[in-house]
A and B are shown apart, each in its own frame.
Chain A
């Protein structure tokens, strides 16, 4: 039991670290690789939970996470980036240092919140929940600080990774929900992809600031 908890805690912690890597990386290819690493860690974490808690249905979740988010989506995004020709540095709203500091604050916030809200639950469930919430918040942050459409997609997916992690820890997300979430994410990827190409067609860039100009916000 103790060891099972240690391994799952380690994997969740590793996911949090990859979330910070997403914030830290400057190039789109590196961001996508960090995202793939996060998804694969998620798959490992879910598979570990399935094995140690003897919940075989979670293996399917792990498999979905591994194939879809660990392989298919990163490869698809890599190809999108290659087609768009935007493998250069990511445009950011704030610098890396500020983003990391805000990320730390959000992690602290997530922990303080979970500790206050989930009193009485077992300590390891609480920790897992805190880490998952931190990953979700960091995904939000990533969507806020990166202006590039592709990295926004990555931020969204990383948020979803955090949600799956939370669901695994909270024992009892039905498989149907699981599968539907996975597919809605896949569909959202297609929507995003179409959207990204449309933005490109219209404005010759995937920098979302172009949309502000379109809306008439003066800068």
Chain B
């Protein structure tokens, strides 16, 4: 009994450390693919780790007008994002804390992290931070309802809002094409692009653009604070990729009853799918241009429309309206 508990605890701990360790690699893959497609050499795959290590060693400079919020926000943002990322089932669905891996809780954790980041962006009082925060909140007000609609669509299909439950449902279910799921997949991809400040919404590769969103908010951070914020944004990318994988391609994930062997398969499958989707993200980012900021509500609005359509269709299929 105690041994079982220990194994469970270790597995959960392993998941928490895997997401943390693999996050910079995923970002490295995206950058590398982008660079190669542009016929550049590109930074080494492990550059993101080196960046984090360098930032952690550097001294942190804080503006005179900064309050306690500015100093504590990076730690809180990192912690919230890490918890959220660790809750998404990656290699196995039957982990110890999967009762807590509720999609609504996930959205709440990310929302809290975003609110802190927006506040920290405004805290110092520079105009750039304010612009970034305002834009981030504009995107969030559109992306969050869409996210909730997607979540509810899946919850209707699977009968639960627990991520592990949804994944189990889709593993057990024979492969099926459903309009509502296809729509929510598209919507979730749009939300993921918007939330991670990827290309049609924001350009992650630049600090020097008047249209930047995420980078504008973190412009004042340096040293270990910046390292934590960067790590949190890497984690967020892994979180969304894992979420897409877990909900729409859970094949290979170890079911609740699997032993160590199943976990090993699940782990390999998860890493392969994660890095594969990171490479796809790189291809996507090279293929299209960034949108004007004022076009963004339309773009993120599509996610809302698709989410809404998906939930309508799910209701129709279930005959709930009748």
Residues of A within 8 A of B (CB): 6-7, 9-10, 12-14, 16-17, 20, 24, 96-97, 100, 103-104, 107-108, 111-112, 115-116, 119, 123, 126-127, 130
Closest to B311 in A: A108
Q: A24-B302, A96-B298 are in contact. Are A115 and B322 (CB under 8 A)?
A: yes
B183 at the interface (CB under 8 A from A): yes
Q: Which residues of the partner chain A approach B297 to less than 8 Å between Cβ atoms?
A: 97
Q: Which residues of the partner chain A approach B321 to less than 8 Å between Cβ atoms?
A: 111-112, 115
A sample of 11 cross-chain residue pairs with beta-carbon separation below 8 angstroms, ordered by A number, consists of A6-B177, A6-B178, A13-B180, A17-B306, A24-B302, A97-B297, A103-B305, A104-B312, A111-B321, A116-B322, A130-B316
B179 at the interface (CB under 8 A from A): yes
Q: A10-B177, A13-B183, A127-B317 are in contact. Are A24 and B309 (CB under 8 A)?
A: no
CA distance A7 to B316 in the complex (A): 16
Closest chain-B Cβ to A95's Cβ sits at a distance in Å of 9
Closest to A2 in B: B176
Residue of B182, B298, B309, B317 near A10 (CB, 8 A) is: B182
CA distance A116 to B317 in the complex (A): 14
B74 at the interface (CB under 8 A from A): no
User: Is A123 touching B319 in the complex (CB atoms < 8 A)?
Assistant: yes
- Interface set, chain B 230-253, CB cutoff 8 A to A: none
Q: Is the interface of B mostly helix, strand, loop or mixed?
A: helix
CA distance A17 to B179 in the complex (A): 10
CA distance A104 to B319 in the complex (A): 18
User: Is A108 touching B312 in the complex (CB atoms < 8 A)?
Assistant: yes
CA distance A14 to B309 in the complex (A): 11
CA distance A116 to B182 in the complex (A): 26
Closest to A97 in B: B301
Closest chain-B Cβ to A186's Cβ sits at a distance in Å of 30
Residue of A9, A12, A14, A130 near B178 (CB, 8 A) is: A9
Q: Which residues of the partner chain A approach B301 to less than 8 Å between Cβ atoms?
A: 96-97, 100
CA distance A108 to B321 in the complex (A): 10
**B281-322 vs A, Cβ < 8 Å mask (1 yes, 0 no):** 000000000000000011001100110110011011101011
Q: Is the interface of A mostly helix, strand, loop or mixed?
A: helix
Q: Which residues of the partner chain A approach B176 to less than 8 Å between Cβ atoms?
A: 6
User: Is B178 touching A16 in the complex (CB atoms < 8 A)?
Assistant: no
Q: Which residues of the partner chain A approach B322 to less than 8 Å between Cβ atoms?
A: 115-116, 119
Q: A7-B177, A9-B179, A97-B298 are in contact. Are A20 and B305 (CB under 8 A)?
A: yes
Q: Which residues of the partner chain B approach A9 to less than 8 Å between Cβ atoms?
A: 178-179
User: Is A115 touching B305 in the complex (CB atoms < 8 A)?
Assistant: no
Closest chain-B Cβ to A24's Cβ sits at a distance in Å of 7
User: Is A100 touching B179 in the complex (CB atoms < 8 A)?
Assistant: no
Identify the interface centre among B177, B180, B298, B316: most chain A CB within 10 Å of its CB. Answer: B316
User: Is B177 touching A104 in the complex (CB atoms < 8 A)?
Assistant: no
CA distance A20 to B312 in the complex (A): 15
CA distance A128 to B304 in the complex (A): 23
Closest to B319 in A: A123
Identify the interface centre among B298, B301, B305: most chain A CB within 10 Å of its CB. Answer: B305
Q: Which residues of the partner chain A approach B178 to less than 8 Å between Cβ atoms?
A: 6, 9-10
Closest chain-B Cβ to A16's Cβ sits at a distance in Å of 7
Closest chain-B Cβ to A38's Cβ sits at a distance in Å of 15
CA distance A116 to B183 in the complex (A): 25
User: Is A16 touching B317 in the complex (CB atoms < 8 A)?
Assistant: no
Identify the interface centre among A7, A13, A96: most chain B CB within 10 Å of its CB. Answer: A13
Closest chain-B Cβ to A131's Cβ sits at a distance in Å of 8
Q: Which residues of the partner chain B approach A13 to less than 8 Å between Cβ atoms?
A: 179-180, 182-183, 313
Q: Which residues of the partner chain A approach B319 to less than 8 Å between Cβ atoms?
A: 115, 123
User: Is B312 touching A111 in the complex (CB atoms < 8 A)?
Assistant: yes
Residue of B298, B312, B316 near A24 (CB, 8 A) is: B298
CA distance A13 to B317 in the complex (A): 12
User: Is A104 touching B313 in the complex (CB atoms < 8 A)?
Assistant: no
